């Protein structure tokens, strides 16, 4: 009976430790994502503003179309790069969040096999 109580107590402690590690990983990952998103928004706004200034100064319709085309191409490439980066950050966050549970799951599977 005491051995079962000790086993349950250790299992509970391991779960609490894993939950705290997971919370730390999620917190760090969320902060990284927030910083990355804010940086992208700032760059995007600056690029849009610069393009608008160029459009205002355009001397011909052909030049305005060229400026707009360059902006659209650049904005699209930036969006694709940012989406890829954010996807990688989310994948990394998920791996880190569940890493602390790997030992618990392995231990539980080991005991179940016995």
Q: List the pLDDT tens digit at each of the 114 positions of the chain.
A: 667 767 677 767 777 887 888 888 888 889 999 999 999 999 999 999 999 999 999 999 999 999 999 999 999 999 999 999 999 999 998 888 887 777 766 666 665 555
Which pTM was predicted? 0.71
CB 78 within 8 A of CB 50: no
Q: Is residue 88 in a domain?
A: yes
Residue 87 lies in a domain: yes
In a domain? residue 12: no
Whether 38 is covered by a domain: the verdict is: yes
- Asked, for residue 108, whether it belongs to a domain, the answer is no
Residue 8 located in a structural domain? no
Q: How many domains does the chain have?
A: 1
Confidence at residue 102, expressed as pLDDT on a 0 to 100 scale: 75
Give 105: exposed, middle or buried? Use CB within 10 Å, 0-12, 13-18, 19+.
exposed
114 lies in some domain = no
Residue at 24 is within a domain:
no
The residue range of the domain holding 89 is 30-102
């Amino acid at each position: 009976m005491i051995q079962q109580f000790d086993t349950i107590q250790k299992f509970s402690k391991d779960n609490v430790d894993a939950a705290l590690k997971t919370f730390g990983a999620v917190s760090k990952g969320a902060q990284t994502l927030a910083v990355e998103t804010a940086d992208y928004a700032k760059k995007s706004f600056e690029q849009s503003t610069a393009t608008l200034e160029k459009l205002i100064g355009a001397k011909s319709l052909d030049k305005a179309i060229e400026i707009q085309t360059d902006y659209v191409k650049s904005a699209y490439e930036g969006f694709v790069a940012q989406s890829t980066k954010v996807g990688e950050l989310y994948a990394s966050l998920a791996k880190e969040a569940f890493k602390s549970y790997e030992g618990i799951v392995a231990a539980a599977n080991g005991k179940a096999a016995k």
